[in-house]
Amino acid sequence: MPKTTEKEKKDMSMTDEAWNNRVERVNAFMEHEGNAAFFKSSEEIEDGVELIKMNIKRGNRNAAKRKNFWKQMLDEGRDWTTENYPDLLETSWPVSQGKESNLPAHVQASTGQIYDLTFEASVDYWNNNPIVQVVNIRSGRNKEEGGKTYADAEEYAKGKAFATKQRFVKLFNDGRWDGNFSLDGMTIAPPTSTANTTETQDGDEVEPEA
């Protein structure tokens, strides 16, 4: 019996559901009005956009090689973040390394904006208010670092931004938020039952005072 090579064993296919979910997020990123200037900022970026669109077309036609097309798209877009292009991008490339998110594309875009804007605001808050640098300490849930102050503005801002992002992910998963972000305001439904705990600014829960 002929031997099966490693290349022949590797499955490069992807289901329509998985493919469409990924493509939807990429399209939402590239069609976002606040990112339009970035995609016209250089020939290199324009070439990258064309490569991504070409791989989307290829994947739509050929399910057997979708993982390969997807990898090429990831390699092209991973550096397209608001951190690398703060003046040109309003939202970041929607796919990072690691496990794929199960959240819909619009929720991932919204929580990404929430993270980025909270991070920026928290850096300014730290830098312009010495009292914040002194009284803000790490959560007691961290047995090694709990109670210590943050090292700098970036470390403080990362913690605030992550906690805020996770709070809105939970609100969406609990059915209390529709996943649409707007600085003009968002509608958050009240909890379905009376809670016995109160959430602090850092996301910790404490017993309410008597």
Is the model's pTM score more than 0.75?
A: no
Q: Is residue 210 one of the residues assigned to a domain? A: no
User: Within a domain: residue 195?
Assistant: no
Q: How many domains does the chain have?
A: 2
- For residues 107 and 163, membership in a common domain is answered with yes
Q: Verify that 73 and 142 share a domain, yes or no.
A: no
SS3 of residue 137 by DSSP: strand
Which of 143, 146, 136, 154 lies closest to 201 in space, CA to CA?
A: 136
Tokens in use for 71?
Answer: 């990898």
CB 59 within 8 A of CB 69: yes
Q: How confident is the model over 34-64, as pLDDT tens digits?
A: 889 999 999 999 999 999 999 999 999 999 9
Same domain for 107 and 63, yes or no, is no
What pLDDT digit, counting tens, does each position of 146-178 carry? 788 888 999 899 889 888 999 999 999 899 999
What are the backbone dihedrals phi and psi of residue 168, each rounded to the nearest 5 degrees, phi first? -75, -30
Q: Rounded to an integer, what distance in angstroms lies between the CA atom of residue 184 and that of residue 158?
A: 24
- β-strand pairing of 205-206 with 198-199: antiparallel
pLDDT at 18: 84
C-alpha torsion 141→143→147→151, nearest 10: -100
Structural domain range at position 115: 101-187
Q: For 196-210, how does the pLDDT look when each residue is reduced to its tens digit (9 = 90+)?
A: 444 444 444 433 333
